[in-house]
A and B are shown apart, each in its own frame.
Chain A
Amino acid sequence: MTVAELATKLNLRLLTKTEATKKVTGVYTGDLLSWVMSHAKKNDAWVTVHTHVNIVAVAVLAELACIIIPEGIAVEAATLAKAEAEGVILLGSDLTAAELCWRIYEVLH
């Protein structure tokens, strides 16, 4: 499934202009960046409450499918600009991280 298809199914808001054609095969949540870096799998959708610009580097290095910011948290413009420059897809949702993981797992399995 592509990130765009996932976004449609779960009513996620596309926050970046990055093309949402990347493949998503799993979901991961966590807010310790080192932990996420070493444990998230390639093509995972990553749910995090962090919105600062460093999440983009983590997504690039861990080759994550996209970053999803839960609970309607606002994202800094600098983060969105950086994400677009690096080809990272950022999405927003009103669901909690737990709800997002559950729903994404359901949709993917």
Chain B
Amino acid sequence: MSKSIQLHFELPGNDLALAGEASSKVKKTLNQLGLKPAVVKKTAVAMYEAEINAIIHAGGGTLAATIDQEKVVVVVRDQGPGIADLELAMQEGYSTAPEKIREMGFGAGMGLPNMKRHADLLEIESAVGQGTVVTIIVYL
């Protein structure tokens, strides 16, 4: 029977100052577990993007990470507006972020493409008006 480690975080809505905190904590755990640097880096980039998105677009949500013998699974769940056209949203450079967010160096339309590039498996379930669930899997 393989053991797994589970971490759970609330992502505060619209508090950009705290954005990245959950990802930083998960990353710390991954490092403590002695996972390969490449695995840690891939997971860190992908989950940071998902965390930022939930805070910027959806007024917060939750981030849950599970680490077992073979993979890291990060699930970021929100009850925000949802993604109307996922194919369009996946395109590099496409963004619906407000100007204020862009001024801070976010919202360049790189978040979802970045997740796709760094995750071994990326699954996005979204319904307009209901929210979005992003699942990121990185194999050890």
Given contacts A32-B105, A37-B114, A42-B37, contact A61 B27 (CB under 8 A): yes
Contact B19 A57 (CB under 8 A): yes
A33 to B48, CA, bound (A): 10
The smallest beta-carbon distance between B120 and chain A, in angstroms, is 15
Contact B20 A50 (CB under 8 A): no
Question: Given the complex, which residues of B lie within 8 Å of A82, measured CB to CB?
Answer: 17
Contact A32 B110 (CB under 8 A): yes
> Is the CB of B138 closer than 8 A to any CB of chain A?
no
Contact A52 B104 (CB under 8 A): yes
Contact A57 B105 (CB under 8 A): no
A7 to B26, CA, bound (A): 31
Please, how many residues of chain B have a CB less than 8 angstroms from a CB on the other chain? 23
The smallest beta-carbon distance between B53 and chain A, in angstroms, is 10
The smallest beta-carbon distance between B31 and chain A, in angstroms, is 9
A58 to B49, CA, bound (A): 11
Interface residues on A, range: 20 to 34
Question: Given the complex, which residues of B lie within 8 Å of A86, measured CB to CB?
Answer: 24
In the complex, chain A residues 38-73 whose Cβ is within 8 Å of any chain B Cβ: 38, 42, 48, 50, 52-54, 56-58, 60-63
A-B contact pairs, 28 of them (CB 8 A): A32-B105, A32-B110, A33-B105, A34-B111, A35-B108, A37-B44, A37-B45, A37-B49, A37-B114, A38-B114, A42-B37, A52-B16, A53-B16, A53-B17, A54-B17, A54-B19, A54-B104, A57-B19, A57-B23, A57-B48, A60-B27, A61-B20, A61-B23, A61-B44, A61-B45, A62-B45, A78-B17, A86-B24
Residues of B within 8 A of A (CB): 16-17, 19-21, 23-24, 27, 37, 41, 44-45, 48-49, 104-106, 108, 110-111, 114, 117-118
> Can you name 7 extra interface pairs (CB under 8 A) apart from A38-B118, A57-B19, A86-B24?
A31-B105, A37-B49, A38-B45, A50-B104, A54-B20, A57-B20, A62-B44
